[in-house]
Every structure is written in structure tokens, then in C-alpha cells.
Structure 1
Amino acid sequence: MRTESDPNLLTVSQAAQALGVTARTLKYYEELGLVVPGRSEGRYRMYAAADIDTFRRILRMRSLGFSITAITEMLKRPMVVVEPGKNRLAASDLTAVHSALASQLETLRARTAQVRKELREAEKLEAQLTRDLQYVEQRLRGVPADDLLAERARQTAPKSRSAR
């Protein structure tokens, strides 16, 4: 446990102010597991300098339009100094990020295709149930079953070549 009297640690409100964001923003990134602050003896969030650096990295990547998924993958890897004041991911780490994101995208695309298929099937079932409901409603209004069944047969019969 960290102590609240440690001058190197910031509370959530102090960290939020230092970063120019709301405390809720910091808590959101914590909920995503991107930053896990220490806790004081009183169970308050206490942010170390490394936590603040991670938040700065997250905020910079978000401002550049990176997704939370990409940020999560990038945060798993260390930054290397390419020149004074400039840190980047190593090429091998970029390759790992690429593989992880491509795999997640492939999985998402497969799931999207499955959802689209399920939607088409649901729409077909909806159309069938709508026709069935209309049949029952017309029967309740007194329309003879033979008339409705003949109409239904005409609607479902294959079209002749001359009608095309």
C-alpha cells in the first residue's frame, strides 16, 4: 500500500488536473485496465509518475485517432528511445501490434458476417410471421379461409415466364 503522505504520488483529482482531463476520464481508462493506480491505506487512487506518463501516452494516442484496441496493444510493449525526446515502438513490437490488430479485425469481420446472416434469417422469419398474422387477422374479420388460402397460393406460386 502506498501512503497518502508520499509527495511523489497524486490523487485522482490532482492527476486529472495535471493532465487536463476529468477524474472520470482517468477512471474510465482504469476500468479498461490501461492504467492500474496504487491505492492508499484509505483505498484512494494514488498515481505515480509512471501512471501519469502512461496517461499522457494514452491521451496522445487518442488525440491521434487510435482505437482503444490499438492503444491497449501498444501499451503492452515498451517504448525505445530513437533520439533524445522521441520514443517509439521497436519494429518487432510494431509487428506484434500489427498481428494482434489484424487478428482482432479478422475475428470482428467474421462475427459481423455471422450477425448479418442471422439478421437476414430474422428478417425472413419476420416476413413469414407478418403474413401469418395478417392471415389470422383476416380470418378473425370473417374472410373465408378458402379465399385467403387461394390468395396465398397465388402469392407463393412461381412466376410464369411471360410474367417476368
Structure 2
Amino acid sequence: MPIDPSSASAAATPSDDARLLTVGQAAAALGVTARTLKYYEELNLVVPARSGGRYRMYAESDLATFGRILRMRSLGFSIAAITEILKRPMRLVESGKSRMNEEDLQVVRDALHVQLDTLRERTVQVRRELREAESLEAQIAHDLQYIEQRLCGVPADQLLAERVARRRKPQSH
């Protein structure tokens, strides 16, 4: 019988132990592949119990978490946002639905702002490094061209004179 992850509780209960599922059973209950479950485990979004240190065993609460993850991914949330959201509890609101409260949303917003700022700084750095690498690449390609021509028998004096002439000519950017 498939488990409806939206109806499962968010916290593990003693009765969860009686209903531990294997990777295959959990994947079937959620309608995903075992690899999908392992992927989210690799990201530390869900950490299932282990049987004898060997097999992953999923409780109802794990399936509920997977259900949240899958819903958020289907709505286009990033892994970064999902990670932050999962750190906060869901609370029952007037409509009977579980939602995050405003305070928790602000904490998630602040955490995502920090991540975004860090990524923007890194992007600037990577672009600078890329420009430097492209410049070095062009210089080495130019040097290789000289060596290839020398190996083809072009006299060094001729090639060096051409290099000097190119360096003196204004370069267009």
C-alpha cells in the first residue's frame, strides 16, 4: 500500500520503526527511483536509518520529508532553498495547511541572500580568472605558432621580425 507523503507526520514517531521501508519500497511509495532517494541523501536532506549498518531504512517521517522535497522541486525551488526550508518547521495555518511562519521565512530569506551574495562574489572572481586564462591561452598559442613555423623551416630572423612588427602595430580590441 503506497504511503501518501503529504499525510505523513513531519517528525518520527515510535510507530515509524514498525513501518521502516527499504530504498525500493520507499521509492515505489513516492513514485521515484531509488537513485533519486540516494541523491537527496547525498545532499544530506534526508538521512535514513540503517539496518545493521548496511541497508537504508526509511521511516514515515523520511517519506514526508521526501514528499516536501519533491513538491518543492516540482515548483522550481533550488536545492539551496529546499535545504534552508527543511531546517524550519511547518506550522498549521487557518486553512488547515502546513506552512512556514513569517519569522522562519525571514530566516530562510536571509540565508539565501548570504548564499547569493557569496555566489555573486565568486562569479566576479571566476570571470576575472577566466579573462586571465584566456589571455595566457592566446599567448601560448602565439608561441606555439612560432615554434611550429620554425619546425617547418621558416627562418627565425623572419619570424622574429614579424613578431616585433605585430607588437608595434596598434591592436584593435
TM-score with structure 1 setting the length:
0.86
Q: Are 2:98 and 1:87 equivalent residues in the alignment? A: yes
CA distance in 2, matches of 1:69, 1:27: 17
- RMSD of Structure 2 on Structure 1 (CA): 1.8
Matching residue within 126, 129, 133 for 1:122: 133
Residue by residue over 1:72-105, the C-alpha shift from the partner in whole angstroms, topping out at 9 and shown as x without a partner, is: 0100010111125311111111111111111111
CA distance in 2, matches of 1:93, 1:65: 20
Match of 1:17 in 2: 28
Overall identity of the aligned pairs, in %: 70
Alignment of 1:1-164 (within 5 A): 6-41=17-52, 43-159=54-170
Query: 1:49 is matched by which residue type in structure 2?
Result: E
CA distance in 1, matches of 2:170, 2:50: 73
Match of 1:3 in 2: none
DSSP 3-state at the match of 2:44? coil
TM-score with structure 2 setting the length:
0.82
DSSP 3-state at the match of 1:83? coil
CA distance in 2, matches of 1:39, 1:146: 73
CA distance in 2, matches of 1:22, 1:62: 15
Note the residue ranges of structure 1 that are not aligned, 5 or more in a row. Answer: 1-5
Note the residue ranges of structure 2 that are not aligned, 5 or more in a row. Answer: 1-16
Query: 1:104 is matched by which residue type in structure 2?
Result: Q
DSSP 3-state at the match of 1:153? helix
RCO greater where, 1 or 2, for CA within 8 Å and sep 6 or more? Answer: 2
Residue by residue over 1:96-132, the C-alpha shift from the partner in whole angstroms, topping out at 9 and shown as x without a partner, is: 1111111111111111211111111111111111111
